[in-house]
């Protein structure tokens, strides 16, 4: 599964990216929109989700011509026609109406631009999920992104937008992917790759790509990511992070296995240091830029690992059993396997 590293408007550090995810929202009010970092490929989200969170959900404050203008100016590798996500409070009738508007934008974009489009799929129940995927298929799209998906009626815990690791969330991913598979379509989920564990769960479910800004945000909050695990504290104990660090030492935050991973980390930051967990941990404690580089590198290795197992699901499963299957989120991994291997699509209807 492809990992797109997310960028933010915070340009205090400039990373070099192979694959980067950015959003129209970061350029929407700029007179002369320009990308100020290096990249190979750019996936540009349309900003609808950020706009939804910040404004009255009943009307989008984004102007569609202006969104398209920014997209045309920045010329991303992939971009998303302006869509209208749902919030849990919306009645079905409003969701339907918003999907109709989303559809009309998808058609508008298809006519107006030659950019590669990855339209957002929204659904308010199982039927609309299947119908809406079919509609996208009929418009010749083979790469789509998941927007707000409700797979079971009144099942708001599975609401996309919350994006907390939960069984309901995994359900909506698996169901969407299974339906997309029927039409040979590939699926992108925004913001799913914030931890190695969720990333691998997504890859195992057959998702084509995800992105996350989590590696950078975690670094800013004094956290480092460890391979096939989650985050560990590696900060300087500033009070604003709310952690009492009196007498803090590496042993309080990393167990033996964690330390072993850090000793063997080959990221551009750690490999300049001796193979000693404490030295490497100290090296990153006072520098969030170093943590950012470490975290980004770890996520990119996860992508390589998932790729290695691309054609051998059984081996991948074995590998994940011995890694994420021993993590704090192992119940989600076990649930994912059960859902994929034992529930067939037709049982969901």
| Per-state percent for the chain, helix, strand, coil, to nearest 5 | 50, 10, 40
Q: What is the closest distance, in whole angstroms, from the C-beta atom of residue 4 to Zn ion in the complex? A: 21
Q: Where are the beta strands (DSSP E) in 175-236?
A: 186-189, 209-212, 223-225, 231-233
Show the CA angle centred on residue 44, arms to residues 177 and 115, nearest 5°.
90
In what helix (H) or strand (E) does residue 291 lie, and over which residues does it extend? Answer: helix 288-308
* Residue 270: count of CB within 10 angstroms of its CB: 25
Q: Which two tokens stand for residue 234?
A: 């590696």
Q: What is the closest distance, in whole angstroms, from the C-beta atom of residue 27 to Zn ion in the complex? A: 32
The CA-atom distances, in angstroms, between 199 and each of 99, 206, 245, 288 are 28, 11, 30, 23
Between 121 and 265, whose beta carbon lies closer to Zn ion?
265
The length of the chain in residues reads: 349
Q: Select from 67-75, 214-222, 245-253, 262-270 the region that touches Zn ion (CB under 5 A).
A: 262-270
State which of residues 82, 198, 213, 270 lies at the interface with Zn ion (CB under 5 A).
270
293 touches Zn ion (CB under 5 A): no
Q: What is the closest distance, in whole angstroms, from the C-beta atom of residue 3 to Zn ion in the complex? A: 17
136 touches Zn ion (CB under 5 A): no
285 touches Zn ion (CB under 5 A): no
80 touches Zn ion (CB under 5 A): no
254 touches Zn ion (CB under 5 A): no
277 touches Zn ion (CB under 5 A): no
Burial class (CB in 10 A: 0-12, 13-18, 19+), 215: buried
- Annotate 258-286 with DSSP letters as a single string: HHHHHHT--STTGGGS-S-HHHHHHHHHT
Between 188 and 291, whose beta carbon lies closer to Zn ion?
291
Between 52 and 270, whose beta carbon lies closer to Zn ion?
270
267 touches Zn ion (CB under 5 A): yes
State which of residues 106, 146, 207, 265 lies at the interface with Zn ion (CB under 5 A).
265
Q: Select from 160-168, 202-210, 259-267, 328-336 the region that touches Zn ion (CB under 5 A).
A: 259-267
Tell me the number of residues near Zn ion by CB under 5 A: 4
Q: What is the closest distance, in whole angstroms, from the C-beta atom of residue 192 to Zn ion in the complex? A: 23
Name which of 7, 11, 14 is nearest 44 in CA terms.
7
Q: What does the binding site for Zn ion look like in residue numbers (CB under 5 A)?
A: 265, 267, 270, 294
């Amino acid at each position: 599964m492809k990992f797109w590293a997310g960028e933010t408007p915070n340009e205090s550090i400039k990373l070099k990216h192979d694959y980067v995810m950015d959003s129209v929202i970061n350029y929407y009010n700029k007179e002369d929109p320009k990308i100020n970092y290096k990249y190979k490929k750019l996936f540009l989200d349309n900003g609808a989700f950020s706009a939804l969170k910040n404004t009255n959900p009943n009307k989008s404050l984004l102007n569609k011509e202006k969104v398209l203008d920014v997209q045309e100016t920045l010329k991303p590798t992939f971009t998303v026609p302006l869509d209208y996500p749902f919030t849990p409070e919306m009645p079905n009738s409003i969701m339907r109406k918003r999907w109709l508007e989303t559809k009309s934008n998808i058609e508008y974009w298809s006519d107006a631009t030659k950019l590669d489009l990855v339209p957002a799929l929204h659904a308010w129940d199982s039927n609309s999920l299947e119908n809406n995927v079919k509609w996208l298929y009929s418009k010749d799209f083979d790469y789509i992104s998941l927007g707000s998906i409700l797979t079971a009626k009144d099942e708001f815990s599975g609401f996309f937008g919350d994006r907390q690791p939960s069984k309901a969330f995994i359900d909506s991913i698996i169901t969407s992917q299974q339906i997309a598979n029927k039409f040979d379509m590939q699926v992108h989920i925004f913001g799913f790759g914030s931890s190695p564990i969720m990333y691998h769960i997504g890859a195992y479910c057959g998702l084509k790509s995800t992105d996350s800004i989590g590696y950078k945000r975690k670094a800013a909050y004094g956290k480092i990511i460890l391979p096939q695990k989650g985050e560990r504290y590696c900060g300087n104990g500033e009070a604003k992070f709310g952690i009492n660090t009196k007498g803090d030492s590496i042993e309080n935050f990393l167990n033996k296995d964690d330390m072993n991973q850090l000793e063997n980390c080959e990221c551009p930051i750690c490999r300049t240091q001796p193979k000693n967990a404490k030295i490497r941990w100290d090296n990153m404690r006072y520098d969030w830029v170093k943590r950012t580089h470490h975290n980004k590198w770890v996520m990119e290795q996860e992508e390589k690992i998932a790729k290695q197992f691309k054609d051998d699901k059984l081996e991948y499963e074995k590998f994940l059993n011995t890694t994420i299957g021993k993590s704090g989120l192992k119940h989600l991994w076990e649930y994912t396997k059960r859902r994929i291997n034992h529930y067939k699509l037709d049982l969901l209807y």
